[in-house]
Structure 1
Amino acid sequence: MQKLLHKLAAKVNQSVVNAKDANLVYLAIFVAASAIVAYMTRFAGRPLGDPDSWGQFGDFIGGIVNPVVGLVTVILVVRTLNVTRSEARNTRNEMEAQTRSLEKQFELSARESYAADVRRKLEGILNTWNSHIERQEVNGAIGIDAHGQPVKVNCPLSTVFENFIYHHYIEDTFRRKDKTCEYLTAMFIRAVHLLEEFENALLEYSDVVENKNLTDYYRRRVVRASRLLTEIGLLSEEAAAGLAIDTIRAARQKRSGSKADQPAEILD
């Protein structure tokens, strides 16, 4: 709409300029005609005279018309230069506007392409994560119950991450630092590496899309595993913060001031 109005205004201005130029030409013609009419009125009925008289007549007409024609010519040249400069300026402004528009389109396209690449990277890591926790079997003791008996499981790693009761036994095991910790650490180490890689890709994605709903969608896929591995000290707090959604991030800050052996509130 803005461009249309700009072009319309330019056409109107051009029409005004053309009208003024025509008026100047008409003025020059009027002055020349007036000089001829005045001469004929003053000397009507007299003989046409010899060549010298015609020369004087030409000098008379030229003396009146030439200054006016010269002035009109100068004005028209100045107007033409102004119009040319104005058109060149308008053309330059339009080209600059088009260049800026193309640059914005290129930046947007590059940003969307980069976001798509990072998203594919996230999806790839998430697929690897899902495949790993489904294939990795936990077969052995994960803790000790209230009667001092070992709690044994035989299930995929995904089940361990999803079962909050298992979380309680595992967290207790790592607080006591018994031999079971070595076995569990070996089970979790690959998952920790995948979560750290996932967190780095998620930070890249957050910088590009700037959409909390999209990034939290991925965080929710690993939030329970992230919580458990952070509580037992295998996943760094920095990585855990990058993987936590707002409610869980606030809960962790609240828990940081509580006693180490106090059961943590579970949020999902």
Structure 2
Amino acid sequence: MSKVLIVAAIIMTSIVVIAYLSIFAGPIAANQEKWGQFGDYIGGVLNPFIAFLALIALLHTIKIQKIELKKTITHFENESKKADLNKIIESLHRRIKTSIEKQIVLSDDMTVSLDKAISGGEDVLQNEMLATYFSYHKRLGHDANLTINSIIKELEQLQIYIERYETLTEELKEKSPFPRFYKSEFNKLTRVLNKNELINDKLYQFYSYLEHDLE
């Protein structure tokens, strides 16, 4: 924009000078009065035009400043949104981890966490500990039932906030490792829950996208 204004000023000055010389042709170098008249002519014609160009430059500067200010405000708003989403995601992550590591009394001789039960194998036919855990899940009000239901609910909530975080980072054209990390954290858990028909395929696929990437 500044280059355009400079070129316009040069062109206008050239036109004014050429117009003066073409109309009032003659030597003026030795005539002080003519120099004064020439200066008055140039100032009278160019000053309003230059003032107009200065006004345009000022308005353009104000416009640019408004755009930059808006970008800055939007940037800080998005950073604030990211920080808020991070806090929620981290909180849900901790709550799920606490739930799967919670020790549940299944019988007089068996107290186990879901995490430990899964570590013994994902097939309930071959993993007695996991089979027992899931059998107690069917008992309404039992700790195993309440724990798994809480985990499923929080996995669903975590999916929502991770998707929001991914959408925000895509809009900002940023790449973040956090969504991938949190998905991988519960990949095995959701696979086991899905095999036992405790969560739907959509929720399982969300956390198991890493498997599909490797296929």
* Common fold: TM-score over 0.5: yes
Extract unaligned runs of 5+ from structure 2.
129-133
Extract unaligned runs of 5+ from structure 1.
37-64, 141-151, 252-268
Q: CA deviation at 1:169?
A: 0.9
Amino acid at match of 2:156: E
Percent identity of the aligned residues?
Answer: 13
Q: CA deviation at 1:223?
A: 1.3
Q: CA deviation at 1:120?
A: 0.2
Match of 2:194 among 208, 213, 230: 230
SS at match of 2:98: helix
Q: CA deviation at 1:236?
A: 2.1
Q: CA deviation at 1:133?
A: 1.7
Q: Is the contact between residue 193 and residue 199 of structure 2 (CA under 8 Å) also seen in structure 1?
A: yes
Structure-1 separation of matches of 2:66 and 2:30: 51
User: Who is 2:58 aligned against?
Assistant: 91
Q: Is the contact between residue 190 and residue 207 of structure 2 (CA under 8 Å) also seen in structure 1?
A: yes
Match of 1:199 among 159, 175, 194: 159
Match of 1:125 among 78, 92, 115: 92
Q: For the structure 1 residues 130 and 241, does the alpha-carbon distance in structure 2 shift closer, same or farther, using more than 3 Å as the test?
A: same
Q: Is the contact between residue 126 and residue 198 of structure 1 (CA under 8 Å) also seen in structure 2?
A: yes
User: Who is 1:159 aligned against?
Assistant: 116
- Root-mean-square deviation (CA), in Å? 4.4
Q: CA deviation at 1:222?
A: 1.3
Q: CA deviation at 1:162?
A: 3.6
User: Who is 1:221 aligned against?
Assistant: 185
User: Who is 2:81 aligned against?
Assistant: 114
Structure-1 separation of matches of 2:12 and 2:64: 26
Amino acid at match of 1:98: Q
Q: Is the contact between residue 199 and residue 242 of structure 1 (CA under 8 Å) also seen in structure 2?
A: yes
**TM-score between the two structures when normalised by the length of structure 1:** 0.57
Structure-2 separation of matches of 1:249 and 1:182: 34
Q: Is the contact between residue 171 and residue 231 of structure 1 (CA under 8 Å) also seen in structure 2?
A: no
1:52-201 equivalences in 2 (<5 Å): 69=37, 73=40, 75-137=42-104, 139=106, 154-163=111-120, 165=121, 167-169=122-124, 182-183=138-139, 185=145, 187-201=147-161
**TM-score between the two structures when normalised by the length of structure 2:** 0.70
SS at match of 2:49: helix
Question: Between Structure 1 and Structure 2, whose CA radius of gyration is higher?
Answer: 1
Amino acid at match of 2:65: Q
User: Who is 2:210 aligned against?
Assistant: 246
Structure-2 separation of matches of 1:118 and 1:169: 36
Structure 1 runs, 4 residues or longer, greater than 4 Å off: 9-24, 71-75, 170-173, 178-181, 183-187, 248-251
Match of 1:30 among 28, 31, 40: 28
Structure-1 separation of matches of 2:114 and 2:152: 12
Amino acid at match of 1:125: L
Structure-2 separation of matches of 1:74 and 1:170: 102
1:10-57 C-alpha deviation (Å, 9 max, x unpaired) = 789879989999998xx99938938x9xxxxxxxxxxxxxxxxxxxxx
Structure-2 separation of matches of 1:187 and 1:214: 25
Q: Is the contact between residue 17 and residue 42 of structure 2 (CA under 8 Å) also seen in structure 1?
A: no
Structure-2 separation of matches of 1:231 and 1:199: 19
Deviates more, 1:120-129 or 1:212-221: 212-221
**Count of residues in Structure 1 that have an aligned counterpart in Structure 2:** 198
